Structure 1
Amino acid sequence: MQPHVDGHGFAPPRHRPLGRERRTSALAALVITVALAVGTLVAATVVSAGLARAAALGLTNIRDGVAIAVLAGLLFAGLASMAADVVELRRRRDD
């Protein structure tokens, strides 16, 4: 059985600080963040276009779209809150 891995992602092991790799690690994190944002925008655009098409065909009510938008907004707010909590817990643990 493998030993427990304390860290993951782009962070270096605690016993080996980043040297020249810092820029590469930061660039990788930036690229992933931008890709996630673009993917979210593409998904929102596709869903909006689908709702508009369904509304044009008379298959849905405009209130359905508002309900979906509110649900998606609450989902993203909850995920952001959870991510902030994880960051805060890690910061407290490291202090």
Structure 2
Amino acid sequence: LRTDVRLVLGDRVLAEQRVLAEDQETVFDIAVPALRHAQDLDALLWSPESPRLVDATVVITDAEDGHEIDRVTSYLGLRDIGWEDGGFQLNHKPCFLRL
């Protein structure tokens, strides 16, 4: 089987990757080159103030004959979550939570 993944924000393709499945379960990472550039981060990352959603399409194809077996389209938010200096961080900025 072959898996193709495509991530798009608006009209900008953020990442495309093709993986051949050699086992029943295949796990892989997708590099998003735009996330490497600090000036692009605010335009890409999801936050409550800017809930940007990335469209994701995953297509599974028979690697031998090219027949499409399944396709799913959904959306996701790119973000960085952490704990630093005793507080919750969202996208490397302090985020205060109400309980």
Please tell me the TM-score bracket, short chain as reference: under 0.3
TM-score of the two chains, using structure 2 as the length reference? 0.21
User: Which one has the bigger strand percentage?
Assistant: 2
User: Which one has the bigger helix percentage?
Assistant: 1
Structure number with higher relative contact order (C-alpha < 8 Å, ≥ 6 residues apart) = 2
